[in-house]
Structure 1
Amino acid sequence: MYKKIKILIITHNFYPDLSPRSFRATELAKEFYRQGHEVTLMAPEKKGLESFLTEYPINFKSLGTLRWKIFNFKSFGILGRLYNKAVNRLLPLLFEYPNMEIFFKVRKALKKENDQYDLLISIAVPYPIHWGVASVWSKSHRKVAKVWVADCGDPYCLQENDTFRPPFYFRWIEKWFMRKATYITVPTLNSIKGYFPEFHSKIQIIPQGFKFEEVRKRPEIMDGIVRFGYGGGFIPGRRDPKEFIQFLVQLPVERRFEFHVYTHTPQYILPYIQNDPRILIHNPKDRLEFLYTISGFQFVVNFSNKGTVQTPSKLIDYGIINKPILNIETGNLDKEAVVEFLNGNYRKSLKVECLENYRIENVCRKFLSLADASK
């Protein structure tokens, strides 16, 4: 049993945002509060946060409203669209714009911070969160916290799932902040390969965590239609739905199925649907609502990332609701497996091992052990 401590969580994404990093920060804040710790959260100003703070009255310190934006000039025709495409690719890649704004927000907030915390957890992405902490983390200013844990969901410089890796100069910045952090946390053993070898001794494995008891399930719908679903984004050439969708739409119309897709990137699926009514696209849902919905389906779909460094956190959710998982690898579609799943044969279902490791109670215990180990 750990004694009650003061914890500061710094994050860009938080409730009610729908993203793995938002779930990470939100679930940690909730469970630390439930365990009786004194929790402070630093994040940009959020609409809709009031209901959360009513139920979980943690100390919220606003980083203010983020104002840096990439201007859109699509109204200028072809040239405007070309400009938009270039700047939306190059500014984030070369300068981390507009995410660099949060570096200055975090730096300013921590310089004004008078409290001393037992544990500081900074959560990326975006990585300028960590850089902001590193900019004030020195021997003269280490009083902000006794222990700093830099939590990394996905790698930065050595990532595998973007078309381009960040330029060479970001390697200096990544190594700079990693030298200062007390610990670096990653979600899986394979994730370690996404970070520079000289910092592997600092890396601790702490997976994504959820409160299992919050998840409601409904009875499976048995009306002769095979229903399956996916929730999340797509990445062309990496986590790409094209091959899978093209295979589904060419199946005979007598094959009764519904593939429900909940995504904020429908542009990567719409061109291949061919008006097939069996492919249904929805806006993203609240996590618990989404899980309740798909728990009534026959199976769920996962689009795997390139390589082994990044593991989709939605696999944990799929494991919690105990549904067969059809895993789709970009460029290597197993058509036999797809047909088997449609026929109710799940022998090739992807397995989620050691599900108990993802209970938020166990995840928080691992973070607390880092604060305890550094005394």
Structure 2
Amino acid sequence: MRILLVAYEFPPSPSPQSLRWAYLVRELSARGHAVHVLAPDLPGDAFGLPDSAAVMVHRTNAGPIIGFIAARSRRPEARRGLDDTCTWQPAGPSKPKPHLNWKGKLFQHIKGVAGYTTFPDIRGEWKPDDALDELVASLRPDVVVCSHEPASTLRLGRQLRGRVAWVVDLGDPVLAPYTPWRWRRRARALEREVWRGADGVTVTTQATASLLASRHGTPFGQCTVVPQGYDDGQRAPAPWCGDFFDQSLLEVVYTGSFYGFRDPTAVISGLLRTQGVRLTVASMSVPPTLLALAREHPQYLRLLGFLPHDQALTLQSGADLVLNIANEDPVQVPGKLFEYLGSGRPILHVGQPTDQVADLLQRAGVGWVCENSPDAVAGMLATLRDDRRAGRLGDGLDRDPALLSCYRWTRLAQDYESVLELACQRFDSGAGKAPPLAQPEPANP
């Protein structure tokens, strides 16, 4: 097949969706498909994400503001003021910076102002409509995939309907608990249009599929669950990992982001009550309270700042166990959870014992579940610390290799290939004739 992917989040962006497509296009290309990607021209290197020389990436200007920032950041004298969230040096991991300098603060302010008037945020200023038309005309792809997030990529499908098979990699709902109120009506309308208009929709959890069906009824095309995954390739050890972990401690690693809907407060409170345990956090940015606690309690908490993807995987594989913190929204599963499945290390999930992650860990036999409260976390960490000291950490776990293999990127690419083939068959047979648009996209409330 000739596949055209439209994705804002694509390397060099270090986001979870960028990671997802870095692996999927690599594997789809390896399976013999001609893969092209339409993406914004963003600065940076690959941040340790996989690369495939066979994939052709077509870059266009990211928009007035981000495009200007991208151009400026390529100038050596400007990089010092624009990379203030965190930097990485090849010799080892960085330390998270407690604050932005004036240039970083100005950039954040500009992003905030622009995001207030641009749907769904500042990324919506990327409008490659003409470039997409030209690529479809010249490449004549069998299928076009629009990747969410951001939601602005989904509207591009409007100009493709009836011309080419159209698949939407939706992942999470467009209308989510964190969607600003000013965009909620517009987000719901776009979500419904995609659900009722695309030749195929992929989501990352069954709970998301069920939620969307309850909101919008039967989808026009087939909805398929294709979760995040893990890479089973060989990785060279990072040069700084030699004596990075203390053999006298229970070493816990968290590699992920912190959001308003993923609160580490209970985890940190429980950690600080438990001697002999240290948590290492690799994250692009952390809450100010976490920075203060790390300075006050270095024996319990170590912050590394941002790590490239490949080194984050190395860090995970060297820990005694890896930590997953549940999102408040039960339909969302953190993408890092699937990376953890590939680390070979036991997983401690802090969340509800009945949520999707808890069910997966129990079926796969790879970890434990703990309620998100300081007392529960402290008790669990003390038990695991004692088990490690006694040499029995993980003895009660029974890994299921067959289940875990379902989450390898090589397997998930096969699943995605089936989704694309089905969408093409539907379109070519005439069953995929685009339905009429019900209503124009509503204005902002």
Quick check: TM above 0.5?
A: yes
What interval of TM-score do these two structures reach, taking the shorter chain for normalisation? Answer: 0.7 to 0.9
Question: Contact (CA 8 Å) 1:246, 1:273: kept in 2 or not?
Answer: no
Alignment pair present for 1:137 and 2:160: yes
How many angstroms does 1:257 deviate by? 2.9
Q: Name the % identity.
A: 20
Residue identity in the other structure for 2:282 = Y
| Counterpart mapping for 1:319-330 below 5 A | 319-329=341-351
CA-CA distance at 1:90 after TM superposition? 9.3
State whether residues 161 and 305 of structure 1, in contact with CA within 8 Å, keep that contact through their aligned partners in structure 2. no
Q: What whole-Å deviation, never above 9, does each CA across 1:146-198 have from its counterpart, x for those lacking one?
A: x21100222121x2456869422332222223322111101121221342342
Matched, 1:43 2:65: no
Contact 1:326 1:341 in 2 (8 A): no
Partner of 2:194: 177
Match of 1:310 in 2: 332
Q: Deviations over 1:333-371 (max 9, x none)?
A: 423222222323558989899221112222122222223
Match of 1:64 in 2: 61
Which residue of 118, 124, 127 corresponds with 1:100? Answer: 124
Please tell me whether the aligned partners of residues 94 and 166 of structure 1 are also in contact (alpha carbons under 8 angstroms). Answer: no
Residues in 2 aligned to 1:371 and 1:291: alpha-carbon distance in whole angstroms: 29
Q: Is the 8 A contact 1:183 1:202 kept in 2?
A: yes
Seen in structure 2, the aligned counterparts of structure 1 residues 101 and 190 have a Cα distance that, compared at 3 Å, is same
1:124 lines up with 2:145 in the alignment: no
1:301 equivalent in structure 2: 323
Aligned counterpart in structure 2 of residue 332 of structure 1, from 370, 373, 397: 373
Q: Confirm whether residue 366 of structure 1 aligns to residue 415 of structure 2.
A: yes
Asked if 1:198 is matched to 2:254, the reply is: no
Q: Is the 8 A contact 1:301 1:326 kept in 2?
A: yes
Maintained 8 Å contact 2:37/2:58: yes
Separation in 2, partners of 1:13, 1:260: 27
What is the distance in 2 between the residues matched to 1:348 and 1:302?
19
The alpha carbon displacement at 1:30 in A equals: 0.8
Counterpart of 1:281 in structure 2 is: 303
Say if 2:267 is the partner of 1:244.
yes
CA distance in 1: counterparts of 2:344 and 2:116, whole angstroms:
38
2: CA distance, partners of 1:181 / 1:16: 28
Q: Which residue of 347, 351, 356 maps to 2:405? A: 356
User: 2:15 aligned to 19, 25, 28, which one?
Assistant: 19
In structure 2, runs of 5+ residues without a counterpart are 70-99, 352-370, 388-392, 426-445
SS state of the match for residue 263, structure 2? coil
What residue is the counterpart of 2:173 in the other structure?
A: 155
Q: Residue by residue, what CA displacement relative to the aligned partner does 1:297-339 show, whole Å, maximum 9, x if unpaired?
A: 1111101111320011211111111211111238534232222
Query: Does residue 31 of the first structure (1) align with residue 27 of the second (2)?
Result: yes
Letter in 2 for 1:20: P
TM-score normalised by the chain length of structure 1: 0.81
Q: Compute the TM-score of the two structures, normalised by the length of structure 2.
A: 0.69
Q: RMSD across aligned C-alpha pairs, in angstroms?
A: 3.7
- Equivalents in 2 of 1:215, 1:313: separation in Å? 20
Cα deviation digits, residues 62-96 of structure 1 (max 9, x gap)? 1223333699xx999xxx99x959x8389458842
CA distance in 1, matches of 2:113, 2:332: 22
Does the 8 A contact of 1:219 with 1:296 survive in 2? no
Displacement after TM superposition at 1:272 (Å):
3.9
Instruction: Find the counterpart in structure 1 of residue 252 from structure 2.
Output: 228
CA distance in 1, matches of 2:310, 2:101: 39
Distance 1:174 1:56, change over 3 A: same
Distance in 1 of aligned mates of 2:113 and 2:403: 38
Q: 1:267 aligns with which of 264, 269, 287?
A: 287
Q: Distance in 1 between matches of 2:324 and 2:193?
A: 35
Q: 1:350 to 1:199 in 2, by over 3 A?
A: farther
Aligned to 1:212: 232
Kept in 2, the 8 Å contact 1:92–1:99? The answer is no
| Amino acid corresponding to residue 371 of structure 1 in structure 2 | L
Greater mean deviation of Cα atoms: 116-125 or 342-351: 342-351
Question: Which residue type is aligned with residue 149 of structure 1?
Answer: V
C-alpha distance in 2 between matches for 1:91 and 1:213: 38
Is 1:215–1:292's contact at 8 Å kept on the other side of the alignment? Answer: yes
Q: Quick check: 1:325–1:351 contact (8 Å CA) kept in 2?
A: no
CA distance in 2 between partners of 1:316 and 1:22 (Å): 15
The DSSP-based 3-state class of the residue aligned with 1:96 is: coil
Instruction: Identify if the C-alpha distance between structure 1 residues 371 and 156 changes in structure 2 by more than 3 Å, giving closer, same or farther.
Output: closer
Identify the range of structure 1 (183-192 vs 345-354) with the bigger mean alpha-carbon deviation: 345-354
Change in 2 beyond 3 A, CA 1:215/1:165: farther
Q: Report the secondary structure of 1:367's partner residue.
A: helix
Q: Give per-residue Cα distances to partners, 1:11-57, cap 9 Å, x unaligned.
A: 11222332210111111111122122111111111443699998513
Q: Is contact 1:12–1:123 with CA below 8 Å preserved after alignment?
A: yes
Stretches of structure 1 that go unaligned for 5 or more consecutive residues are none
